[in-house]
Amino acid sequence: MEHYLLEEETYQIIGRCTEVHTELGVGFSEIVYKDALEYEFRKNGILFAREVQYQVKYKDIILPHQFFADFVVFDSIILEVKAISDLTNEHFEQTINYLAISGMEVGLIMNFRKPKLQYKRVILTER
């Protein structure tokens, strides 16, 4: 049986996202799903931070624009929340970049716009 990096933690996150999707359904904006996820994480004792800011280093400077991860869960997983018609390679590439800059190895992209919750697990294998 194959095991994934941070498998138990990602299953807990997917479970909370499924709960939110089941309760709210489709059609809301991302911010609504994020608010509901924050509630679920708190209620279930899941360690998280919301809108975590990361700086981008370029050569010997820090660039003036930062990025904000929707959530960092368990201090080790970046969670990106989407409410779009479909996930694309752009979302996958964005998450890879977030992982590289943050120093984390595991990301989850959740899309709440589909009738069934759509998600992708993203693993950064190279640094």
Q: What is the pLDDT of residues 31-44, one digit of tens each?
A: 999 999 999 999 99
pTM greater than 0.75: yes
* Residue 2 pLDDT > 80: no
How many CA atoms lie within 13 Å of 65's alpha carbon, on the beta-carbon side?
1
Q: At what angle do helices 30-43 and 7-24 cross, to 10 degrees?
A: 120
The amino acid sitting at 29 is S
Q: Give yes or no for a contact between 70 and 81, defined as CB atoms under 8 angstroms apart.
A: yes
Q: Give yes or no for a contact between 111 and 83, defined as CB atoms under 8 angstroms apart.
A: yes
Domains along the sequence of the chain with CATH: 7-123 (3.90.320.10)
pLDDT of residue 82: 97
pLDDT of residue 45: 97
Q: 101: left (phi > 0), else alpha (psi -120 to 50), else beta?
A: alpha
Q: Give yes or no for a contact between 111 and 19, defined as CB atoms under 8 angstroms apart.
A: no
* Residue 30 pLDDT > 60: yes
- What is the radius of gyration, based on Cα positions, of the chain? 15
Tally of CB atoms within 10 A around 94: 16
* Residues 77-102, mean pLDDT to the nearest whole number: 93
User: How far is it, in rounded angstroms, from Cα 20 to Cα 37?
Assistant: 7
pLDDT of residue 124: 86
Convert the pLDDT of each residue in 41-64 to its tens digit: 999 999 999 999 999 989 999 999
* Residue 127 pLDDT > 60: no
37 alpha-carbon distance from chain centroid: 11
Longest Cα pair distance anywhere in the chain, in angstroms? Answer: 47
